Amino acid sequence: MSEQWIYLDGKFVTKKDAVVSVYDHGFLYGDGVFEGIRVYSGNVFRLQEHIDRLYDSAKSIMLSIPQTKEEMTEIIVETLRKNEYKDAYIRVVVSRGVGNLGLDPFTCKNPQVIVIAEQLALYPKEMYESGIDIVSVASRRNRSDVLSPKVKSLNYLNNILVKIEANLAGVGEALMLNDQGYVAEGSADNIFIVKGNVIKTPPGYVGALEGITRNAIIDIAKEKGFDIREEVFTRHDVYTADEVFLTGTAVEVIAVVKVDGRTIGEGTPGPYTKELLEDFRKAVTSDGVKVYPNEKIQAV
Ligand code: PMP
């Protein structure tokens, strides 16, 4: 297998050499921001939106990314070219950088920028055909007025606790509520429900990350003339929905067929979920930034 190149601190290094200091505040305190991005057949899906979210997250925590957005775009594209990847998962991390053991972020003078591209382990096809079971968990989403869910920070303990609970319950994903008991999202995905011909997803202020996949699904649904709304809802609405699905960069669009033991709809992926997944998979090869501009891009 050929060498995997990782962008670290201004240069490309091998996986073995891609190491950071134990004094990096990203390591010591989860002080930093990140993005998870996908490239499909040489098209970096909605790259601009990911970059905008990264810079907004950084601004919110007063982390000044040394590169301009254009330079960051170039670094991401270069990482893919260097590895000759057309289909990959990309992780962009910007940590506060090396400081001392104190909390003060202003001791960290050089934010650390890391770009990892990896060929992905795709979720099994059967999962999309059969749908997945989820459970609601006791851990609640961080209050959005304490740590905004819009900040995609390196502090994922909240989500990790949720994932642990889901795993202990024998399922892979969870339904996370906010502090008031309203449905927020999954451990690393947004949630949608369908009832009749109305599709709903919680608004950002409930405590959900503004997912890029979520926004793409909203755009696709609107283009198709579907009635899609950002609205607050409860677990009862999830239990009694005709369809439930999760969205995220890694999972794309996946049907949920059981929640806390309640079968959703017919217990199989519903028509809206299937249609939106199909349309999403068409969009991913065109909506974004081309890594190999002169090459004929093949559909996935
Ligand atoms: N919520 C959380 C907490 C996440 O970590 C993610 C993954 N980035 C999502 C939702 C889905 O967002 P996206 O579609 O941008 O991957």
Per-residue DSSP letters for 118-135?
E---PPPHHHHHH-EEEE
Q: Which residues are within 8 A (CB) of 281 and not within 5 positions of it... i.e. 6 or more apart?
A: 252, 300
Q: Are residues 158 and 70 in the same domain?
A: no
Whole-number Å distance, alpha carbon 105 to ligand 1 midpoint, is 26
Q: Note the pLDDT tens digit of each residue in 145-175.
A: 898 999 999 999 999 999 999 999 999 999 9
In a domain, 273, yes or no: yes
- When pLDDT is averaged across residues 170-195 and rounded to a whole number, the result is 97
Whole-number Å distance, alpha carbon 152 to ligand 1 midpoint, is 8
In a domain, 292, yes or no: no
How much of the chain exceeds pLDDT 90, in percent? Answer: 94
Q: Which residues pair with 228 in a beta bridge?
A: 199
State residue 299's pLDDT score: 42
Q: Which of 59, 125, 152, 296 is catalytic?
A: 152
Q: Are residues 248 and 158 in the same domain?
A: yes
Q: Are residues 224 and 174 in the same domain?
A: yes
Residue 123: pLDDT band by 50, 70, 90 thresholds?
confident
Q: Which residues are within 8 A (CB) of 222 and not within 5 positions of it... i.e. 6 or more apart?
A: 228
Q: Radius of gyration of the chain from Cα atoms? A: 20
Q: How many domains does the chain have?
A: 2
Is a pLDDT exceeding 80 seen at residue 73?
A: yes
Q: Are residues 97 and 153 in the same domain?
A: no
Residue 296: pLDDT band by 50, 70, 90 thresholds?
low
In a domain, 107, yes or no: yes
Residue 220: pLDDT band by 50, 70, 90 thresholds?
very high
Whole-number Å distance, alpha carbon 190 to ligand 1 midpoint, is 6
Q: Are residues 79 and 189 in the same domain?
A: no
Q: Which of 102, 118, 134 is the last residue of a domain?
A: 118
Is a pLDDT exceeding 70 seen at residue 298?
A: no
How much of the chain exceeds pLDDT 70, in percent? Answer: 98
Residue 297: pLDDT band by 50, 70, 90 thresholds?
very low
Which residue has tokens 């979920």?
Answer: 273
Q: What is the mean pLDDT of the chain?
A: 95
In a domain, 169, yes or no: yes
Q: Are residues 104 and 163 in the same domain?
A: no
* Residues 194 and 272 sit within 8 Å (Cβ to Cβ): yes
Residue 106: pLDDT band by 50, 70, 90 thresholds?
very high
What CATH number does the domain containing 235 carry?
3.20.10.10
Q: Which of 70, 85, 118 is the last residue of a domain?
A: 118
Closest ligand 1 atom to residue 216 Cα is: 14
Q: Residue 100 is part of which domain span?
A: 5-118
* Residues 250 and 36 sit within 8 Å (Cβ to Cβ): yes
Instruction: Output the ligand 1 site: residues, CB below 6 A.
Output: 36, 159, 185, 188-190, 209, 211-214, 247-249
For ligand 1, atom 9, name the residue with the nearest CA: 189
State residue 1's pLDDT score: 63
State residue 293's pLDDT score: 87
Q: Is residue 15 annotated as a catalytic residue, yes or no? A: no
- When pLDDT is averaged across residues 104-111 and rounded to a whole number, the result is 97
State residue 2's pLDDT score: 82
Pocket mutation for ligand 1, best pick of 90, 160, 190 (most atoms within 8 Å of C-beta): 190
Residue 189: pLDDT band by 50, 70, 90 thresholds?
very high
Residue 61: pLDDT band by 50, 70, 90 thresholds?
very high
Residue 300: pLDDT band by 50, 70, 90 thresholds?
very low
Closest ligand 1 atom to residue 36 Cα is: 8
Q: Are residues 92 and 135 in the same domain?
A: no
Q: Which residue has the higher pLDDT, 295 or 83?
A: 83
Whole-number Å distance, alpha carbon 26 to ligand 1 midpoint, is 19
Q: Are residues 244 and 196 in the same domain?
A: yes
Q: Which of 118, 141, 157 is the last residue of a domain?
A: 118
